[in-house]
Amino acid sequence: MIVRKLNFLMPKHGYKKVEVSIYGEKNICTIYIENKGYAIYINGNEEDMFLIKTNMSPDEFKSRKNAEDNEDFINLIKLLLDQIYADIDIPEYEEQHHEFVFLKIMDYFSKNDFKVINEGSDLYKTIEWGFMKLDIDLLNLKVNNETNN
């Protein structure tokens, strides 16, 4: 039998959050959870948060060796930018480019220009629950694939 306290799985120093201002009051928020992944969403729209399960640090994401993983992250940013700009009538040249936003996010993490989200916050609990559910879903998928083969 293995017994483990649940908070063993969570980082000791909280989650690191950065925000990139996009247009008006709209920001793309990204939270880095060491050895777990990232959460990304539009501020004020936390219920539509995306979780990215990966062990890659922000510095590793910026490396050209990880182009495929970078592309997945950038595509999520593009999706969020499209949502932000969908109801706004501005010239296309004023819209921020998804690759630029990606690099800006990773630079904020690298330069320690982030806010720490602690265990007591609702956002922390939502992300924690989301990653636990994602892990369970991945285990279920693995079990189902093994039983079908």
Quote the pTM value: 0.82
Residue 57 lies in a domain: yes
Q: Residue 112 burial (CB < 10 Å; 0-12/13-18/19+)?
A: exposed
pLDDT in tens, 66-89: 777 788 899 999 999 999 999 888
Residue 39 lies in a domain: yes
Residue 68 lies in a domain: yes
pLDDT in tens, 4-39: 555 555 555 789 999 999 998 999 999 999 988 999
Range of the domain at 73: 13-116
Residue 66 lies in a domain: yes
Please report which helix (H) or strand (E) contains residue 21, including its range. Answer: strand 15-23
Number of domains in the chain: 1
**The dihedral sign for the CA sequence 48, 50, 114, 78:** negative
Residue 92 lies in a domain: yes
Q: Which of 5-19, 79-93, 96-110, 127-141 is predicted with the least confidence, judged by mean pLDDT?
A: 5-19
Residue 149 lies in a domain: no
